[in-house]
């Protein structure tokens, strides 16, 4: 395995809700609680989980778009400086993000030349011909004609806009890219085009991806490793194939079973449907946060929080290194 490019240690992010006319006093949202993980060079680590589990917040913490409440993020071994510091600028060139909604993430009043060219101006000082030339190259790289430089976002379809978003993220030749649900808003026939493009670019540009998604079919296809989150915590972590074969955490199993398969015969498989709703991150349950929905929960689960630890169960690769399989459960599945 390659060297880690991003390492997060005991990362925590709490947001305070503001008091308003309908709620007095503030409360704390536990968006990310004590998360540690490593992302290795040139791999794709998928971050999966349901809405509100903190996966987007974690992605933003890793590239310092958001400041953590506590904890450390290292990029290529170097601790990232504070959010508003000048030293962060040089790191920003190497860490970029692709957003979910290609309609909301492009400024409608800017031409493609300026949307993609903005980072070239602010970071490299490119102007005029030089900038136009580089934007043209970037457009070609994402499969759009160079002649599109003078167009505005409204003239493009969703898939084309996402290509523009990708070109902008890659303008400064980053090493690490957070892809936050990059294909979720796209039509089925366009999704596979964009997934192929992301994979081609990863190979050509030697990129490392954090791929945030709730689509488990896409994740299975694109990722090397998976990190499963529930309510601000990592509950399971390991190689994609091992996790799909032998989920160890009950939540992972339910998540995998819930994804509808494009095969009508799958309807005859007995499907275990997870009951209940996602608990509130303002007052997370004591002990294991999943216990209120877990059919296997025992008294111990309410009293003692399970720690993310290497598992010796089936599917564990037997390695003791940091990339090995880990699960946070008192009673992992056999």
Partner 1 sequence: MAGGSASLLEIRDLRTSFFTKRGVVPAVDSVSLRVGQGEIVGLVGESGCGKSVTSLSVLGLVASPGKIIGGHILYHGEDVLGFSAARMRELRGNKVSMIFQEPMTSLNPVYTIGKQVTEALRSHDRMVGSKEARLRAVEMLARVGISEPESRLEAYPHQLSGGLRQRVMIAMALICKPGLLIADEPTTALDVTIEAQILTLMRQLQREIGSSIVLITHNLGVVAETCDRVYVMYAGRIVEEADVFELFDRPLHPYTNGLLRSIPRKNEDESAPRRLYSIKGNVPDMARLPAGCKFAPRCERCVEACTRAEPELVDSGNGHFVRCFRPMSDEVKR
Binding site for partner 1 (CB under 8 A): 50-51, 157-160, 187-193, 195-196, 199, 214, 216-218, 220-222, 241, 244, 254-255, 257-267, 271, 273-275, 277-278
- Is the Cβ of residue 14 or residue 241 nearer to partner 1 in the bound state? 241
- For the CB of residue 124, give the shortest distance to partner 1 in the complex, in Å: 32
Name residues whose C-beta falls within 8 Å of residue 13's C-beta, 6 or more positions apart in sequence: 31, 32, 54, 57, 61, 66, 68, 69
Sign of CA dihedral 124, 73, 240, 211: negative
- For the CB of residue 104, give the shortest distance to partner 1 in the complex, in Å: 16
- Is the Cβ of residue 42 or residue 241 nearer to partner 1 in the bound state? 241
Torsion angle of the four alpha carbons 83, 85, 86, 87, in this order, in degrees rounded to the nearest 10: -80
- For the CB of residue 130, give the shortest distance to partner 1 in the complex, in Å: 31
Q: Which two structure tokens, joined as six digits, stand for 239?
A: 């190689």
- For the CB of residue 49, give the shortest distance to partner 1 in the complex, in Å: 9
- For the CB of residue 321, give the shortest distance to partner 1 in the complex, in Å: 23
- For the CB of residue 138, give the shortest distance to partner 1 in the complex, in Å: 20
CA distance 138 to 115: 12
- Is the Cβ of residue 51 or residue 320 nearer to partner 1 in the bound state? 51
Angle at the Cα of 272 (from 268 to 277), degrees rounded to 5? Answer: 135
- Is the Cβ of residue 250 or residue 332 nearer to partner 1 in the bound state? 250
Per the DSSP assignment, residues forming a β-bridge with 210 are 45, 178
Packing angle of the helix pair 112-124, 158-170 (nearest 10 deg): 10
- Is the Cβ of residue 149 or residue 255 nearer to partner 1 in the bound state? 255
The DSSP result for 158-218, as a single string, is: HHHHHHHHHHHHHTT--SEEEEESTTTTS-HHHHHHHHHHHHHHHHHHT-EEEEE-S-HHH
- Is the Cβ of residue 86 or residue 265 nearer to partner 1 in the bound state? 265
């Amino acid at each position: 395995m390659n060297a880690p490019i991003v390492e997060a240690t005991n990362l925590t992010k709490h947001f305070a809700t503001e008091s308003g006319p309908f709620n007095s006093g503030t409360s704390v949202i536990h968006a990310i609680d004590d998360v540690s993980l490593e992302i290795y060079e040139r791999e794709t680590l998928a971050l999966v989980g349901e809405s509100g589990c903190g996966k987007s917040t974690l992605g933003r913490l890793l590239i310092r778009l958001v400041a953590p409440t506590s904890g450390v993020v290292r990029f290529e071994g170097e601790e990232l400086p504070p959010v508003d510091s000048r030293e962060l600028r040089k790191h920003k060139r190497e860490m970029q993000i692709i957003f979910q909604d290609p309609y909301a993430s492009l400024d409608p009043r800017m031409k493609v030349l300026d949307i993609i060219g903005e980072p070239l101006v602010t970071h490299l000082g490119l102007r005029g011909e030089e900038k136009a030339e580089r934007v043209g190259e970037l457009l070609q790289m994402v499969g759009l004609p160079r002649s599109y430089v003078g167009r505005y976002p409204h003239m493009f379809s969703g898939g084309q806009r996402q290509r523009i978003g990708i070109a902008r993220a890659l303008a400064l030749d980053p090493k690490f890219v957070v892809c936050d649900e990059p294909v979720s808003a796209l039509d089925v026939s366009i999704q596979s085009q964009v997934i192929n493009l992301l994979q081609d670019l990863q190979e050509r540009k030697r990129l490392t991806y954090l791929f945030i998604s709730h689509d488990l079919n896409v994740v299975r296809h694109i990722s090397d490793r998976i990190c499963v989150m529930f309510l601000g915590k990592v509950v399971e972590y390991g190689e994609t194939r091992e996790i799909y074969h032998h989920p160890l955490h009950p939540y992972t199993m339910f998540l995998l079973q819930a994804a509808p398969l494009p095969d009508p015969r799958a309807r005859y498989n007995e499907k275990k449907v997870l009951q209940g709703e996602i608990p509130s991150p303002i007052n997370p349950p004591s002990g294991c946060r999943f216990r209120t929905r877990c059919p296997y929960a025992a008294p111990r689960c309410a009293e003692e929080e399970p720690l993310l630890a290497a598992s010796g169960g089936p599917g564990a690769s037997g390695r003791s290194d940091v990339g090995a399989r880990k699960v946070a459960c008192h009673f992992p599945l056999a």
